[in-house]
Amino acid sequence: MRQIDLILTLIGPILTAWLAGLLVWRKLHREFPFFFGYLIASVLVPVVRLAVRNDYLTFFKVVWSTEAAYAVLTLLALHEVFRKVFAAFYEKRWFWLFFPVVVIAISTLAVIYRFGSPPAQASPVISFIISLGMAVNLVQALLFVLFFILVWFNGIGWREYPFGIVMGFAAIAIVIFTVEWARSVFGTKLNVVWSYAHSVAYILAVILWLKTFLQPPEPEPQWRLKITPEQLLEEIRQYSKILGKFRGRAR
């Protein structure tokens, strides 16, 4: 293993251990248990991978099984944040279906796309795990857009813990999407960049999370939406009318 590979492999878990300790110190591991579980996995998995790196078959199995675990933990952490922010919306019986339906729809499209153009020499299981990873990245990006709209409409600060969590996951998705797009355009010239994209994206996410959780918690969290779905929809309509009038004047 090259020195830079070893450094990137270790720096992520070291920063993550610091972040996990910070959550325990602030007693936020109880507030965000799935996100905390994701962090613990992010500390342990690289250590396990390093321990079996000399046995190719075992290393191969460990890498892909842990990638699947990462995808599931990421979705659980995102749903945890989504449910906390939209707690008032869950009074509507149908709303609990919103997040899983979006995830299933995106995952289905990703699987169809991946099996239509599978990676060379990839088994169906590996293709499914790659598809799940694609779906998770899309969910991360879409959730970031949704939360950005909420911040804009309701004046909620990005410094709040749930939004910081989403921003970190969105950073991972954006970096990976950007590198994947650049690789598709410029080809194998960017193979080196692509090989380090996941590690660098994750380190960037951890830095964003540290910046978020180093701040003391708010006495009364401001991020739980207290408006109803109807009120939010009405706000969107009002903004749409204002935007329509502005466009009319511009013409």
Q: Which phi and psi (to 5°) does residue 122 adopt?
A: -95, 135
Angle made by CA atoms 159, 149, 22, in degrees to the nearest 5: 25
| Burial label, 101 (beta-carbon count in 10 A; 0-12, 13-18, 19+) | exposed
pLDDT < 70 stretches in the chain: 1-2, 111, 113-132, 150-159, 183-191, 218-251
- The predicted pLDDT at position 36 comes to 96
- The predicted pLDDT at position 244 comes to 60
> How many structural domains compose the chain?
1
On whether the pTM is more than 0.75, the answer is yes
- The predicted pLDDT at position 177 comes to 80
How many Å apart are CA 167 and CA 141, to the nearest integer? 9
Residues in Cβ contact with 41 at an 8 Å cutoff, skipping those fewer than 6 apart: 66, 69, 70, 73
Instruction: Report the residue count for the chain.
Output: 251
Q: How many CB atoms lie within 10 A of CB 10?
A: 13
Q: pLDDT, tens digit, for every residue of 110-157? A: 767 665 555 545 566 666 666 667 777 778 777 777 777 766 665 555
Tell me which residue range forms the domain holding 143: 3-250
How many Å apart are CA 201 and CA 213, to the nearest integer? 18
Residues in Cβ contact with 247 at an 8 Å cutoff, skipping those fewer than 6 apart: none
